[in-house]
Amino acid sequence: MGTVADYLAGVDEPDRTTLAHVVDVARDVVPDATEGTSYGMPALLYRGKALLSAMASAQHLAVYPFSPAAVTAVEPRLDGFSHAKGTVRFSTEHPLPDDVVRDLVATRVAQIDAQLDR
């Protein structure tokens, strides 16, 4: 197992299934993403850079795209979701839509590519 898989294995249901789905959607966008950590969180990595973390807390689930710009890019579609500069919060009962996850990841991929391909 990898860092993300190990983390998810320790999350109780039904949150585990919800978070695993977010990770699966992100992997659909970036099939060659690897697992690691960033800012102490289990994360998918792209080209060695943090791409996305999906975690549970006592009060909510959240994704961290490691980019305020990625959150801003999907902000018009976040009605009903709590969000801040670098995170979007959701729940098993009100999951983050797949298209929002895809766009968060695609935005982050474009940022990483732009940074590394200078």
Q: Which domain holds residue 16?
A: 4-117
pTM of the model: 0.94
- Report pLDDT for 118: 81
Residue-level pLDDT at 1: 56
The predicted structure's pLDDT at residue 2: 76
Predicted confidence at residue 57, as pLDDT, reads 93
How many angstroms separate the Cα of 97 from the Cα of each of 1, 71, 72, 101, 112? 26, 14, 16, 7, 23
How many domains, in total, are found in the chain? 1
Using one digit for the tens of pLDDT, what is the confidence trace for 50-79?
999 999 998 999 999 999 999 999 999 999
Residue 69 sits in a domain whose CATH number is 3.90.1150.200
At residue 12, does pLDDT exceed 80? yes
Q: What does each C-alpha distance from 77 to 4, 20, 24, 52, 112 come to in angstroms?
A: 26, 21, 20, 18, 23
Q: What is the pLDDT of residue 113?
A: 97
